[in-house]
C-alpha cells in the first residue's frame, strides 16, 4: 500500500516537473512564446506544442508510476483520475483563453495517456 501511495505522489510530481521543464524549453525554442505566455495568446503551433507537452508529461507519469508500484496495482488509474480532477477546474478557469477542441483534447487524453505510459512499462518487463 505504501509503495502505491509513493508511486502516486511521485508520478504526480513527475507530471509537473516534466511539464515545467518542457515549458522552459518552449520558451527557449519557440519564437514569441514567452511574449504571449502571460496573456495566453498562443498561436496554433504553440497550442499543439503545449498539448504535446501534456501528452509527454502524462506518458512519463504513467511510466514512472508503473515502475514504482507493484505489478497489477491500481496506482496508475488513481494518478489518471487525480490529474483529470486537478485539471478540470484549471481548464474551466481558462475556458475563454483556448478553443473548445484544445480543452477537450487535453482533458480527454490526459487519463488514457497516463494509462498508456503505465502499460508501456508493464509490457516492457
The per-residue pLDDT for range 84-116, each reduced to its tens digit, is 999 999 999 999 999 999 999 999 999 999 999
Q: Which three cell numbers stand for residue 8?
A: 502516486
pTM metric for this prediction: 0.94
Number of domain units in the chain: 1
User: Is the predicted pLDDT of residue 15 greater than 90, yes or no?
Assistant: yes
Q: What is the pLDDT of residue 110?
A: 98
CA angle 102, 9, 97 (to 5 degrees): 20
Domain that holds residue 77: 2-124
Helix, strand, or coil (residue 94)? coil
User: Is the predicted pLDDT of residue 72 greater than 60, yes or no?
Assistant: yes
DSSP 59-117: HHHHHHHHHHSPTT-SHHHHHHHHHHHHHHHHHHHTGGGS-HHHHHHHHHHHHHHHHHH
Q: What is the pLDDT of residue 121?
A: 84
Amino acid at each position: 500500500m505504501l509503495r502505491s501511495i509513493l508511486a502516486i505522489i511521485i508520478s504526480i510530481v513527475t507530471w509537473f516537473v516534466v511539464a515545467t521543464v518542457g515549458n522552459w524549453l518552449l520558451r527557449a525554442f519557440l519564437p514569441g512564446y514567452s511574449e504571449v505566455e502571460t496573456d495566453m495568446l498562443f498561436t496554433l503551433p504553440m497550442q499543439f506544442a503545449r498539448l504535446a507537452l501534456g501528452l509527454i508529461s502524462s506518458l512519463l507519469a504513467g511510466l514512472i508510476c508503473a515502475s514504482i508500484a507493484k505489478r497489477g496495482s491500481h496506482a496508475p488509474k488513481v494518478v489518471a483520475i487525480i490529474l483529470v480532477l486537478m485539471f478540470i477546474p484549471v481548464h474551466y478557469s481558462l475556458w475563454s483563453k483556448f478553443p473548445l477542441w484544445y480543452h477537450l483534447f487535453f482533458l480527454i487524453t490526459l487519463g488514457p495517456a497516463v494509462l498508456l505510459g503505465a502499460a508501456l512499462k508493464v509490457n516492457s518487463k
